[in-house]
Amino acid sequence: MTDIPPRKAAPRPPRNTPPVDEGRGILAGIGYAVRETVIVVTMAVVLSLVVKTWIAQAFFIPSGSMEDTLQVGDRVMVSKLHTRFGDVNRGDIVVFKDPGNWLPPAQAVESRNELVGKVQAALTFVGLLPDPADEHLIKRVIGVGGDHVVCCDAENRITVNGAPIEEPYVHPGDAASQMTFDITVPHGRVWVMGDHRSDSQDSRYHPRNGDGIEGSVPLDLVIGRSVATVWPLSSFGTLSNYPQVFAHVPAP
């Protein structure tokens, strides 16, 4: 006797399902894409702001005071970690806020597109565009707190704590300085000069009475140390603080 297989149940008739709303599906997809885009952009802006505030910031070079090390229009990356967790040393190229009347009065410039100007300012604020350096300067540190900086010796060299320094970064054809000075840098300050000595309004050009207070820059105004040129690509590379120049300088 053979087994009789059980009968299969008759298929149920299909239920009446509502038609798919293709328009609603497309809107849902667009909404998802917009939401994800907003999340990604917000995270990028927040991360950029954190980096700019605590770690590093890009600056635009507006003048020729640091030629030939830096050219007009270069973009440099400035490390803020050097000033937060380390010292500012001789030879460092630093960006600092105007100590007072170093820069000419800002002139109002009419923008052809006010909205574009506001967008650029916002992107600069969050660190997505380089700072135009309207209120900042960039120079090289020649003396730190306590240093006795003098120009010049018989061979037209600057001396720091009595030791003459050979400066390979000075613009070709420039003297170490066209101005003589004899100052002691106050503690908590730095004495700065541009590499293009004949085209740099730096510590030498401000009222001084021998104590270095007026011409030196307070450390709390130093934004950070310039560590690399990031634009244009033809100039891409790190920036040296020439430790060999100051290696033989004694402590103050």
Could you tell me the pTM of the whole model?
A: 0.74
Mean pLDDT, the chain, integer? 80
Residue ranges per structural domain of the chain = 56-246
**Cβ atoms within 10 Å, residue 99:** 18
Please indicate whether residue 118 is annotated as part of the active site: no
Q: Which class in CATH covers the domain with range 56-246?
A: mainly beta
Would you say residue 33 has pLDDT above 50? Answer: yes
Would you say residue 248 has pLDDT above 90? Answer: yes
Q: What is the dihedral of CA 28, 33, 39, 41, to 10 degrees?
A: -150
pLDDT tens per residue, range 12-30: 655 555 555 565 667 666 7
Task: Provide the phi-psi class of 101: left if phi over 0, else alpha when psi is between -120 and 50, else beta.
Answer: left
- Beta bridge partners, 94, equal 139, 225
Q: Say what the pLDDT of residue 15 is.
A: 58
**Cβ atoms within 10 Å, residue 70:** 23
3-state secondary structure of 123: helix
Whether omega for the bond prior to residue 152 falls within 30 degrees of 0, making it cis, is yes
CA–CA distance, 182 with 104 (Å, rounded to integer): 26
CA–CA distance, 217 with 240 (Å, rounded to integer): 21
Which entry of 139, 177, 200, 203 is annotated as an active-site residue? 139
Phi, psi for residue 224 in degrees, rounded to 5? 170, 180
**Cβ atoms within 10 Å, residue 166:** 12
**Residue that is written with structure tokens 């399902």 in the block:** 17
Helix axes 114-126, 22-50, angle to 10 degrees: 60
Q: Is 157 exposed, middle or buried (0-12, 13-18, 19+ CB in 10 A)?
A: middle
pLDDT tens per residue, range 92-137: 999 999 988 888 765 444 444 565 555 555 555 444 444 455 688 9
Please indicate whether residue 139 is annotated as part of the active site: yes
Q: Say what the pLDDT of residue 195 is.
A: 98
Which entry of 52, 65, 203, 216 is annotated as an active-site residue? 65
Overall average pLDDT of the 140-169 stretch: 97
Q: Say what the pLDDT of residue 110 is.
A: 43
Q: Say what the pLDDT of residue 114 is.
A: 64
